[in-house]
Amino acid sequence: MRNVRQVRSIRRVLLSSLAAIALLTATSSFAADTHTSKPFSGIKVNGGMVTHSKHSPHNVLTLSDDFKVPDTPAPHWQVVDSKGNVYLLQRLVIKDDKFNRSITLPSYILDIAKVQIWCAWAETLLGEALFDSPVK
């Protein structure tokens, strides 16, 4: 009877250890697929950051909670890749003064060197946030 209890106790410890290892591995792999930019800097957008995350097979950009939407007529998401190609994407502000805090990038954008907030109406760069190195 005592041996049965010992075996059960050892099983519980082993299962708990395996669960902890699995959780740590999952957390580590998620952290490896996340990149945070430097703060936005520009004429109208200063502060807040953007986080890149990989939700296979999609790349997603998310603005930080402290990001302030600029008071301009048509702010848009814009991405610049490592080769200098510029991609004007969707509007930042949507109906009823809400805004797109996150955006899923099209598959043709292969990497991201910086994220810009662009005023499509005035054709002016409002601010940009750089990554330490291009993210894929």
Q: What is the CATH number of the domain that holds 130?
A: 2.60.40
The model's pLDDT over 1-12, given as tens digits with 9 standing for 90+, comes to 666 666 566 666
The whole domain housing 20 covers 1-32
Same domain, 84 and 105: yes
Same domain, 18 and 62: no
What pLDDT score does 31 carry?
46
The model's pLDDT over 62-97, given as tens digits with 9 standing for 90+, comes to 999 999 999 998 999 999 999 999 999 999 998 877
The model's pLDDT over 27-74, given as tens digits with 9 standing for 90+, comes to 434 445 899 999 999 999 999 999 999 988 899 999 999 999 999 989
Same domain, 63 and 112: yes
The model's pTM is 0.74
Q: What region does 45 belong to: left with phi over 0, alpha with psi -120 to 50, or beta?
A: beta
Tokens of 38: 């430097």
Same domain, 78 and 94: yes
pLDDT: which is higher, 118 or 13: 118
Same domain, 40 and 63: yes
List the beta strands (DSSP E) in the chain: 34-36, 50-55, 58-63, 75-80, 86-91, 93-94, 98-99, 102-104, 112-119, 124-135
Q: Averaged over 102-118, what is the pLDDT?
A: 95
Same domain, 41 and 58: yes
Neighbours of 118 (CB within 10 A): 24
